[in-house]
């Protein structure tokens, strides 16, 4: 099933053309704009046989509203909308080295986009987000993720706690990040089937999410008062955690 939407901004449109051109239906460029990167996008889109139109700034604003478009938007049809029933196939295909990022209620689309960039760079198996009380993949997320929203499977789930239990039944160990525990992230073995569970902005992990983790750990921060994981932006914490797993798997 395809989901048509508009994506905006130089990085987001460039990434879509580079990584998934078959799903870019049309590119709109601001008429008269002198930015050489816009000329590059136009040239690249035409090479890929993507329709390109020059329109005025008001027309661009009418498409994406208040979203900063930098003179370019694209009509995009995401090729794949992942269903939670497919999560098992993704884990099994990872052959004992699944790396799943679970985000418990991230509200800021910029944070979700940054988390997806880290997840894609780390080669994550999937990113799991709740369908309710969480930002979904929208135009802002796509722009912030710079293409990562389409290169890493994002799986919205109806009940995060139930999904966590299902993952455990698949042999995935779930580690939640919290600031009020003693165990260190760096003491974990992250080389097998692993799920890294991070809370949303402000409140962190919800009670049921905490209870469904196999273990709670913290990111040691010698220079930070209290060494609380909540002191870190969720996307920064996701990057630190994911790349500790990458480091261990590469050694």
Model pLDDT for residues 17-49, shown as the tens digit of each residue: 887 787 889 999 999 888 999 999 999 999 999
- Three-state DSSP state, 199: strand
Q: Does 125 share its domain with 20?
A: no
Q: Is 71 annotated as a binding residue?
A: no
Q: Mean pLDDT throughout 190-194?
A: 97
Count: domains in the chain:
2
- Please tell me the pTM assigned to this model: 0.74
Residues 56 and 101 in one domain: no
Domain co-membership, 147 together with 237: yes
Sequence-ordered list of residues with C-beta below 8 angstroms from that of 129, at least 6 positions apart, any chain: 102, 103, 106, 112, 135, 136, 154, 155, 156, 157
- Distance, in Å, from the CA atom of 100 to the CA atom of 195, rounded to the nearest integer, reads 5
Q: Is 160 annotated as a binding residue?
A: no
DSSP string computed for 205-221 = S-HHHHHTSSEEEB---
Listed in sequence order, the residues at least 6 apart from 93 whose beta carbon sits closer than 8 Å to its beta carbon are 125
Q: 2 or 14: which carries more pLDDT confidence?
A: 14
| pLDDT class of 228 with cuts at 50, 70, 90 | very low
CATH number for the domain harbouring residue 160: 3.40.1280.10
Boundary of a domain, candidates 27, 50, 78: 78
Q: 119 and 103 in one domain?
A: yes
Residues 70 and 88 in one domain: no
β-sheet with 99-104: strand ranges across: 154-157, 126-130, 99-104, 194-199, 173-177, 215-217
Using alpha carbons only, what angle is made at residue 162 by residues 169 and 116, rounded to the nearest 5 degrees? 90
Domain final residue, candidates 32, 49, 78: 78
pLDDT band at 203 (very low <50, low <70, confident <90, very high): confident
Question: In terms of domains, do 93 and 180 share one?
Answer: yes
Shared-domain flag, residues 63 and 139: no
16 and 53 together in one domain: yes
Is the pLDDT at 61 greater than 90? The verdict is: no
Place of tokens 């689309």: 109
23: left (phi over 0), alpha (psi -120 to 50) or beta: alpha
Buried residues in 2-33 as b, exposed as e (16+ CB within 10 A): eeeebbbbbbbbbbbbeebeebbeebbbbeeb
User: Annotated binding residue at 10?
Assistant: no
Q: Are residues 95 and 63 in the same domain?
A: no
Same domain, yes or no: 144 and 167? yes
Instruction: Give the Cα separation of 167 and 180 in Å (integer).
Output: 25
Confidence check: pLDDT of 231 > 70: no
Domain extent for 38: 3-78
CB atoms within 10 A of CB 229: 29
Average pLDDT of every residue of the chain: 88
pLDDT band of 240, cuts 50, 70, 90: very high
pLDDT for the residue 31: 93
pLDDT at 100 over 70: yes
Residues 47 and 104 in one domain: no
């Amino acid at each position: 099933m395809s989901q048509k939407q508009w994506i905006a901004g130089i990085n987001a449109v460039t990434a879509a053309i580079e990584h998934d051109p078959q799903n870019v239906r049309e590119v709109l460029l601001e008429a008269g704009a002198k930015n050489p990167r816009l000329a590059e996008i136009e040239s690249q889109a035409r090479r890929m046989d993507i329709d390109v139109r020059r329109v005025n700034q008001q027309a661009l604003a009418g498409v994406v509203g208040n979203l900063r478009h930098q003179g370019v938007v694209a009509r995009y049809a995401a090729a794949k909308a992942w269903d939670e029933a497919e999560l098992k196939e993704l884990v099994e295909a990872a052959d004992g080295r699944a790396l799943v990022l679970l985000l418990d209620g991230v509200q800021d689309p910029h944070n979700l986009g940054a988390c997806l960039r880290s997840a894609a760079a780390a080669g994550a198996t999937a990113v799991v987000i709740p369908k309710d009380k969480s930002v979904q993949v929208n135009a802002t997320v796509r722009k912030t993720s710079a293409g990562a929203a389409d290169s890493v499977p994002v799986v919205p789930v109806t009940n995060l706690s139930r999904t966590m239990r299902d993952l455990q039944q698949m042999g995935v160990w779930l580690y939640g990040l919290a600031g009020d525990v003693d165990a260190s992230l760096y003491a974990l073995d992250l080389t097998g089937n692993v799920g890294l569970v991070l809370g949303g902005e402000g409140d962190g992990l919800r009670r049921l999410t905490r209870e469904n983790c196999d273990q709670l750990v913290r990111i040691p921060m010698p220079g930070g008062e209290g060494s609380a994981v909540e002191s870190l932006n969720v996307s920064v914490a996701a990057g630190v955690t994911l790349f500790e797993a990458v480091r261990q798997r590469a050694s």
